[in-house]
Amino acid sequence: MAQTLEQRVLLLEEINAIDRLKQEYARTLDRYDTGEAFAALFTPDGVLDIGPMGRYEGRDAIAGFFNGVRDTLSFFLHYTMAHAVDVDLEANTARGTWYMWEPATRNDEAYLVAITYDDEFRKVGGRWLFTLSRSTYHFMCPYDKGWVEQRLPPD
Amino acid sequence: MSSLEARVAQLENIEAIRALKVHYARLCDDGYAADPLAALFTQDCLWDGGIMGSYEGREAVRRFFGAATVRVRFALHMMVSHTIDIAPSGTEASGYWYLWQPMTLDGVAHLSAVTYDDEYRKVDGSWLFHRVKVNRHFTAPYDKGWVKQRLPVG
């Protein structure tokens, strides 16, 4: 179906808006904002699926997970990049994938984390929100060892 | 200006600022050429490099970049993960970036992790840096990592 000029512009805007939301996800984590601020990026029935770190449904569970994260992870930076986003302009839904590279300090030890995200979104009241963020952990290795010697943490 | 034209201008402004930041990164990595780098800044700019020092005005910025290669033999500024906001004026903007930078500092391999808080101004149709604030999370020797040594010695 041929797109109008307005639809073409809208698609570019929506791809930009969704990447901005994903960047806000990263920045909210990295500045250790509140669990509530992080959970507000999700729909009320949104799901956070963090592989080995668990699956959390709904804003309260998501906020609870985030508030507990700094017990083991005192520092991280979520370098979130290389987005591929598909938008359904009629349904106001979208899917997106990103690569994420993360230096972190876990139990006072330097770690390197490599994740890809498979996320889903819905536009609600003019704002995009996560309905699902799913992380695939490719490795979470001690910096001193590397991902071949130790792909994931022992504990 | 029609609403559609204004929306396209917004997207173009975001892309122009993205391209400005990436161009800055490339100039740094290609030997920190001081004149082209200084030309990317407004006359009354401020470069706030934290422990690296603060530089006010285009000439101070020019001198700073001109001296960079003394200590930095190699760097790759992997400038990613931007958030860019254009003000309603269309001639002011702000940006937040993540930088991952392998580098050779004083002959030693280091890994640097930085985030930036930028302000931009559109001057005679071109976007320039007006304020750049460097948030240095670590510049760690490669063989030690950021927990054992977060910042370089000296």
Closest chain B residue to A6 measured between Cα atoms?
B4
Rounded distance between C-alpha atoms, residue B19 and residue B30, angstroms: 16
Distance from CA of A122 to the nearest CA of B (A): 20
Decide if B146 and A16 are in contact by the 8 Å CB cutoff: no
Kindly indicate the confidence band of residue B95, based on its pLDDT and cuts at 50, 70 and 90: very high
Q: What is the ipTM of this complex?
A: 0.95
Kindly state the average pLDDT of the residues A21-35.
Answer: 97
CA B79, chain centre distance (Å)? 8
* pLDDT value at residue A97: 98
**Are B95 and B12 within 8 A, CB to CB?**
no
Residue B104 has pLDDT above 90, yes or no: yes
Cβ contacts of B11 on chain A, cutoff 8 Å: 9, 12-13, 16
Q: Does B100 touch chain A (CB under 8 A)?
A: yes
Q: Do B4 and A9 touch (CB under 8 A)?
A: yes
Task: Out of A23, A105, A144, name the one closest to residue B81 (CB).
Answer: A23
3-state secondary structure of B84: strand
- Who among B10, B11, B81 is closest to A81 (CB)? B81
Classify residue A91 as exposed, middle or buried by CB count within 10 Å of its CB (0-12, 13-18, 19+).
exposed
Specify the pLDDT at position A114. Answer: 98
CATH class of A5-142: alpha beta
The minimal CB distance from A103 to the residues B8, B115, B146 is found for: B146
Domains of chain B, each with CATH number or no CATH: 3-141 (3.10.450.50)
Kindly report, residue by residue over B35-89, the tens digit of the pLDDT: 999 999 999 999 999 888 999 999 999 999 999 999 999 999 999 999 999 999 9
Inter-chain residue contact B147 with A20, CB threshold 8 Å: no
